[in-house]
Amino acid sequence: MSFNSDRHLEGEMAQINCVVQKGDSPLLLSWLYNGQPLTPSDHTKVLEVGRSSILTIDPVKGHHQGNYTCVAANPAGEMAVHAQLFVNEPPVVSPIGFNLPQYLEDDMAQTNCVVQKGDQPLILSWLYNGQRLTPSDHTKVLEVGRSSILTIDPVKGHHQGNYTCVASNPAGEMAVHAQLFVNEPPVVSPIAFNLPQYLEDDMAQGNCVVHKGDHPIMISWLFNGQPVTISDEVQIMAMGQRSSILTIDPVKGHHQGNYTCVAANHAGAMAVHEQLYVNEPPVVSPIGFNLEYLEGDLAQTNCVVQKGDNPVLISWLFNGLPLVSSDHVEIAGMGKKTSILTIDPVMGDHRGNYSCVASNPAGQMAVHAILHVNGAS
C-alpha cells in the first residue's frame, strides 16, 4: 500500500487504502503510527468498507510525517503492511534584527536570517522596502547552510528602511522583517545675511536651516572662530528644532567678520560660513594750521581719514561754503584717504574757518581749523 502522493505539502489531503485480498472472517483491521495504535481525530479518519480500511488525513501537517502500518488479523493469524508518509514542511524562520538599535553613517550593520525548520530545497532571499535587494559594493549577502547573512558596510543614510528575509520551499514560505535606523549627520543650507553690505546702525540677520539630519540636533554660532557672545546688540533665536536666526541690531563696525553656523548630532557635524560686511563711516584726524601767518606766507594743513570704508569723498569748506582750487588755493589728494590744502601766498581774505568733510555711504565727519593772518586789514 502507499499514500496518494510520494510527498505531501502541508494543507493537502493524504489518503491510503488497506485491502485484505485473502483471509477468512472475522477480520480485524487496525492502524499504527510509528508503531503505536492510531487514534482517529478531527484530522485523522478511518473508514472501513468491506475488506478494506481507508485512512484519511486532512489537512496534513508536519507532525503527521512518519510510518503508518495497517494490521489485518483473524483467528488464523495476522499480517502488517507499512507505508511512509512524507510531509514537506514550509520554512520556519527565526526573527531577525540588526546588531545595533541605531547606526551612524560609516558603521557596519549585519543581520542573520536562520531557517529553523523546513524541508529542502530552501531558497533564501532579501527585500529592501518591499523590493528585491541587489547585492552591491556596500551590501553583501552570504549564505551559510540554512542561513543567510546580510552585511552593509559602510552604512549610509539611504540604507535606512525595512529589510525582509524570505525563506521558501515547495511547501510554502515565511518572511521576517527588521528595521534599520541610520542617524544621518546634519546637512545645513548656506546662510546669507539679508544685505550684501551694511551701514552702521542697520539691522543684520542671518538664518541657519538644517534641512537634513536626525534629532537631537544642536545649532551654535561662531564669530571669527569663537562662540558668539549674546548681548543687547546680538541675539540668537531658535525657530523649531532645525533653524536658528542670528540678529545684530544695531550693526557696528566691530561686528564685521566671519560668522559660522555649526549643526551637530550623534552622527556628525556640518559648518557653513558667511561674511558680514559693515561699511564704516569715516573717522578723520584733527586738522590745524601750525602758525599765525603773515601775508605772503605759505599755509598748509593735512586732512587724513583714519578709518572708514571706501569709497571716501573728501571735500573742503571755507566759512561753510565749498572751497575749490584757485590761483592761491590748491587742494591735492594723496591716495584715497588724504587731502592736502595749500594756500600760497596767504592773503588777508584767506582768514577764516576751514572744514574738511569726509563722507562715504555709511556717513560723514567734518573737522575744523581757524586760519589766522596777522597784519591783515
Q: What is the pLDDT of residue 243?
A: 96
Taking only the tens place, the pLDDT of each residue in 127-173 is 999 999 999 999 999 999 999 999 999 999 899 999 999 999 988 99
Residue 361's pLDDT band (cuts 50, 70, 90): confident
Residue pair 6/39 in contact (Cβ under 8 Å)? The answer is no
Position 35 scores a pLDDT of: 95
Contact, 151 vs 108, CB < 8 A? yes
Q: What is the mean pLDDT of residues 1-15?
A: 86
Identity of the amino acid at 336: K
Cβ pair 368, 354 in contact under 8 A:
yes
pLDDT exceeds 80 at position 328: yes
159 φ, ψ (degrees, to nearest 5): -80, -10
As a whole number, the mean pLDDT across the chain is 94
Q: Cα dist. 187→104, 154, 225, 262 in Å?
A: 15, 19, 20, 10
pTM of the shown model: 0.60
CA pair distance 210, 236, nearest whole angstrom: 15
Distance from C-alpha of 39 to C-alpha of 117, rounded to nearest angstrom: 27
Most confident of 22-26, 105-109, 193-197, 261-265: 261-265
CA 273 – CA 37 distance, rounded (Å): 85
Amino acid at 28: L
Cβ pair 135, 107 in contact under 8 A:
no
- At 309 the pLDDT is 87
Q: What is the pLDDT, as a whole number, of residue 2?
A: 86
Residues in the chain: 377
Q: In the structure, what pLDDT confidence band is assigned to residue 376 with cuts at 50, 70 and 90? A: low
Other beta carbons within 10 angstroms of residue 155's beta carbon come to: 23
Nearest Cα neighbor of 297 from 340, 333, 348, 339 is 348
The predicted pLDDT at position 62 comes to: 85
Alpha carbon distance 275, 282 (integer Å): 21
Tell me what pLDDT residue 7 has: 82
Burial (Cβ within 10 Å: 0-12, 13-18, ≥19) of residue 246: buried
Q: Over the stretch 40-72, which tens digit does the pLDDT of each residue have?
A: 999 999 999 999 999 999 999 888 999 999 999
Could you give the CA distance from residue 208 to residue 159 in angstroms, rounded to a whole number? Answer: 27
Q: What is the mean pLDDT of residues 346-367?
A: 95
Q: How much is the pLDDT for 9?
A: 85
Give the helix/strand (H/E) hosting 329: strand 329-333
pLDDT digits (tens, 9 = 90+) for 213-258: 988 999 999 999 999 999 999 999 999 999 999 999 999 989 999 9
Per-residue pLDDT, 320: 96
DSSP string, 207-271: EEEEEE-PSS-EEEEEETTEEPPP-SSEEEEE-TTSEEEEEESS--GGG-EEEEEEEEETTEEEE
* pLDDT attached to residue 8: 87
Nine-digit cell at 278? 559693515
Say whether the peptide bond before residue 190 is cis (omega within 30 degrees of 0). Answer: no
The pLDDT, as a whole number, for residue 288 is 94
Mean per-residue pLDDT, 356-364? 93
- Mean pLDDT across 316-337: 94
Angstrom distance (rounded) from CA 162 to CA 185? 20
Instruction: Indicate if the pLDDT at residue 284 is higher than 70.
Output: yes
pLDDT value at 23 more than 70: yes
Domains of the chain as residue ranges with CATH: 8-88 (2.60.40.10), 92-183 (2.60.40.10), 187-279 (2.60.40.10), 283-374 (2.60.40.10)
E strand intervals along 86-214: 87-88, 92-93, 103-104, 109-117, 123-128, 131-132, 139-144, 147-152, 161-169, 172-180, 182-183, 187-188, 198-199, 204-212
Per-residue pLDDT band at 377 (split at 50, 70, 90): low
**DSSP conformational letter for 327:** S
Q: Are 287 and 325 in contact (CB under 8 A)?
A: no
Peptide linkage before 311 cis (omega within 30 of 0): yes
Reply yes or no on whether the pLDDT at 375 is more than 80.
no
